[in-house]
A and B are shown apart, each in its own frame.
Chain A
Amino acid sequence: MPARRIVYLSLPAFATDRVGRKQPQDELGPFATVITSRGRRVLMAVNAPAQAAGLAPGQGLADARALCPRLAAAAHDQAGNARSLAAVADWCLRYTPWTAPDPLPATGIGGDAGVWLDISGCAHLFAGGADAHGEAPLIADLTGRLGRAGFSARAAAADSPGGAWAMARFGPRSTAVVPPGGYHTALAALPVAALRLPPATVEALNRLGLRRIGDLHALPRAALEARFGDTDSGHVLKRLDQALGVRAEPVSPGNPRFGRPLPPWRARLALAEPIDRVEDVEAAVGHLLAELCPRLEREGRGARRLELMLFRTDATLERAEIGTSRPSRDPAHLVRLFAEALAELAIGPDAGEGIELIVLEAVVTEPLAPAQLVLNRRGDLSTAGIGPLIDRLTVRLGAANVTRLASHESHLPERAVTHRPALARAADDTGCGDRDRPVRLLRRPEPVRVHITGHDLPDRFDWRRARYDVVRAEGPERIAPEWWRANGLGDAGGPPRDYFRIEERAGGRFWLFRSGDDWFLHGLFA
């Protein structure tokens, strides 16, 4: 099994960069985000011009304004930061299928953020020239693109998440890649703060003369665990082992795909010139499908779910997903489905930056025999050639709205017919026609006001703001509740229903029932 390789992308000025990057660089003035702490307004994050003016996080806003009157300030929006960071993590999917935002700290001062990338088996795409692994070019590409998009960024690759974190935040700028197995030497020179420890612990270690990670190696582990092993100290030994890759560390339980094997059905298309027209995107999707579909065919598979990722030049990502009712590897059909899905996205010359990379992935595939294009003459739904039509309808209207009627064994009329997905497999149990049943059945019986004189049948009733005079009635047909299903669903345990077919003066025919003393309209006869 190849070694795991992790990249940590450090975004040290994320909170201010994400606001300031929309403005031209030369107009960028000092800017800070502010929180209110104990009734006092305190700088949370500052950008480079503010830093140059002598401001630092933790300073009071009033003091900062005195130092730098031009300072622009905005509320520190942690939820917005988290959303933005998730978008950047998504955009990082261009390098690997597994990325996760480093959770933003709930407390503490500063506007930094980070993203994890698991690049195991992905970096070779960037290999070339002197670099056989491709990790250094990948990192250069990653930080370069983010830099052009307005984020200051550093990144480092290592065998463990902890090692990558330490190198990206504290390592020398010259080493972005720690070669497999090269930690002891690389990490030993870093300060102990690189172990992701609380500030108090770092201070305590420093007081003991333990300034560098290498100093900790020399200590007996038992002593270290006894003194700094608790939660308050931040589990120094555990963090050390994680940085060294001795102890496994799950990076993000929030992203279920992180750490899974590379999905095999993936095609990518890098564009020399960014594109922004829907037609161009569709053409590019056609190219990708032309690459992917023959591969699926060779393996005897068809796609059930496909995901399209469109990477913009400003480090944002658009996604479109389609599903098919049955496995398919027909490029023309799949392109049409994507055309529907793309229409929902904001793509166009006026909607954001151009798209420079497109990745298509068949997320779910199923076996599909080579010769499946036989049209069944019987024309029933399970086999007819309406699959492509069902797919198009489903993409636009949703699976719940493209259905067929399936009969169900139940006495209650509303339970006897259910709506099932249009191509779901079902026995040929459609039931036979029943003249005692209406053509339309209301989803829920609607109460009606009845007027009864003399006998027990209504003379007239009011339904949906109209009055109907009853001229004839046939019935009753008693339908008892399904007492064995009395599970609190209301009607299951109610009184029995007496159904009547009722004709009103103009000839309209209705299906009414009496339940106790109340009357309901349930269906309409043709």
Chain B
Amino acid sequence: MERLIPNPTEAATPVFDGHVSDGARAVALLRARLAAMEGLATPDLDGGENRFLSFTAVAGLSGLADALPWPGLPRHALHEVVAADPAMAAASGFCATLLGALSQRAAMPVLWVTRSLTLYGPGLAALGLNPARLVVVRARRNRDVLWAMEEGLRSAALAAVLGEADDVTLFASRRLQLAAETAGVTGFLLRRSRSPSQTPPPSAAVTRWRIAPAPAPTDQSIAVPRWHVELLRCRGGRPGHWLTDHQP
């Protein structure tokens, strides 16, 4: 298989010399080495923090702090968000929260490639995504969505790119993942699931989430978003399930 990720700085790569007696340590070293090859390691040269978006800093999603095997959400990567509801409302909110945090951190705009012009500024702003930093692109055809996403991911002037693409082949997602890695722009694929049991075919995304709305507790206004966040797949991590409240 082709190697998708250029090796990060050699100094940051843990070395397995083949003489380690302790089995657990060997496995840990190999894991770290693999992660480094995939661009997901924590190189300590640039502080490491810059390659990840820590969930603790994201309003509303701090409960996900331990969800991933890394210090946060890898920024140089493609992520997949599957919407449980056909209108994609909860998943849109989840993505808007992440885009807002990424945009704020990098002080750069984000690109949202949509199929329909239904995004609403005041609602997005309430989730932390400043409409002044949002470029909304409408593409009617699936291949235009993918093209616009790739253009955005290759442009270093953006913090993140989101695309609403229903039909993404493994090859197309690999292109997007590669583009995200190269320019350091975080990519999101927002997809609908055709039925609750069925999940989309595999992709090259580093993580795959499934977002469903959750009923509000009786003592809480329904204006406070509450989501079932499910981590379906994660390279080197374990699937999990969380309930988040987006408290103001």
Contact = CB atoms under 8 A, between A and B. Distances in A.
Interface string A491-526: 000000000011101111100000000000001111
Interface string B38-71: 0000000000000000000000000000000000
A405 B117 CA distance: 10
B109 A507 contact: no
A439 B131 contact: no
A526 B127 contact: yes
Which size bracket describes the interface of B in this complex? 35 or more
A385 interface: yes
Interface of B: 85-90, 92-94, 96, 103, 106-109, 111, 116-128, 130-139, 144, 147-148, 151-152, 155, 157-159, 212-216, 221-228, 246, 248
A397 B144 contact: yes
Interface of A: 377-381, 384-386, 388-390, 392-393, 396-397, 401-407, 413, 416-417, 419, 422, 428, 430-443, 464, 466, 471-472, 474, 501-503, 505-509, 523-526
A385 B216 contact: no
A404 B138 CA distance: 11
A195 B44 CA distance: 88
Contacts of A524: 87, 89, 92
A386 B223 contact: no
Given A389-B152, A396-B147, A397-B144, A509 B89 contact: yes
Contact of A389 (B144, B151, B223, B224): B151
Contacts, number: 199
A405 B86 contact: no
A404 B124 CA distance: 13
Given A405-B121, A405-B136, A419-B117, 12 more contacts: A384-B157, A385-B157, A403-B117, A417-B122, A419-B136, A432-B122, A433-B128, A434-B126, A438-B120, A474-B223, A524-B92, A525-B223
A405 B152 CA distance: 18
A503 B215 CA distance: 7
B106 A474 contact: no
Most A CB atoms within 10 A — which of B93, B125, B128, B158? B125
B136 A435 contact: no
Contacts of A417: 120-122, 131
B122 A437 contact: yes
B193 to A, nearest CB: 14
Nearest to A380: B132
A392 B152 CA distance: 10
